[in-house]
Amino acid sequence: MNDCPVCRRSMVTFELEGVEIDRCLSCKGTWLDAGELEEIAFRAGVPPAELHRALEEAGKGTSSTRRCPRCGRKLREFPLRSASGEEVLLDKCPKGHGLWFDQGEIYRAVSLFAGEGGHQGSVARFFSDLLKSEIQNRPNEKGESQ
Ligand SMILES: [Zn+2]
Ligand SMILES: [Zn+2]
């Protein structure tokens, strides 16, 4: 099962700096399997400890009408909150299969944990291909020259 939780269309696998992510080309949302958000944050130059803590402390959340693309269970909507109190509303599988990000939320979520120490630039660079693809409405094809 690999359908978009929002529009139920089949998602495509997209590689973001070596991490395989699932994207919906219709609503441009992104599904990340468990642990992939921390992996992406780490590769974007963000220390993953605070992010990991925020995920652990997020609680159960409230029931969403969206469904997990892995098990079909209803996702739980929850606020992912940074130490500075900013938050982004995400959806997670109650069985821990992963997280759903609406368009732009994956960048926002990682940015919240980039802190003040100059990580914002590296995060923006890391996500530039993904953000471009959101504009172009197609996946980053392998072998495409940059
Ligand atoms: Zn979709
Ligand atoms: Zn699931």
Within-domain flag for 5: no
- Which ligand neighbours the alpha carbon of 103 most closely? 1
34 contacts 146 by C-beta, under 8 angstroms: no
CA of 124 to the centre of ligand 1 (A): 24
Other Cβ atoms within 10 Å of 51 Cβ, number: 22
**Domains of the chain: total:** 1
Residue 6 maps to a domain: no
Beta strands, E only, 35-140: 62-67, 74-81, 87-92, 98-101
Residue 2 within a domain: no
Could you tell me the pTM of the whole model?
Answer: 0.86
Quick check: is 144 in a domain? no
Note the pLDDT tens digit of each residue in 102-129.
999 999 999 999 876 667 788 888 888 7
Mean pLDDT is lowest, of 6-20, 29-43, 48-62, 111-125, for 111-125
Q: How remote is the CA of residue 22 from the centroid of ligand 2, in Å?
A: 14
How many angstroms separate the alpha carbon of residue 142 from the centre of ligand 1? 22
113, part of any domain: yes
Overall average pLDDT of the 16-29 stretch? 91
Residues 6+ apart with CB under 8 A from 87: 79, 80, 81, 112
**Domain of residue 62, residue span:** 12-136
How far apart are the C-alpha atoms of 115 and 88, rounded to whole Å? 15
Residue 119 domain-assigned (yes or no): yes
